[in-house]
Amino acid sequence: MLKKDEVSKLRAKLTPEQQDVCVNKGTEMPFTGEYVSNHDEGVYRCVVCGAELFDSKTKFESGTGWPSFWEPAKKENVKDKDDYSYDMHRVEAECAQCGSHLGHVFDDGPQPTGMRYCINSVSLKFEKR
Pairwise CA distance, residues 4 & 113, whole Å: 33
Identity of residue 94: E
Catalytic residue among 22, 46, 95, 118: 118
Pairwise CA distance, residues 121 & 118, whole Å: 10
Can 49 be counted among the known catalytic residues?
no
Number of C-beta neighbours around residue 24 at 10 A: 8
- Provide the terminal-to-terminal Cα distance of the chain, rounded to the nearest Å: 26
Measure the CA angle with vertex 30, ends 25 and 31; round to 5°. 135
Measure the CA angle with vertex 10, ends 33 and 30; round to 5°. 15
> Active-site residues: which are they?
118
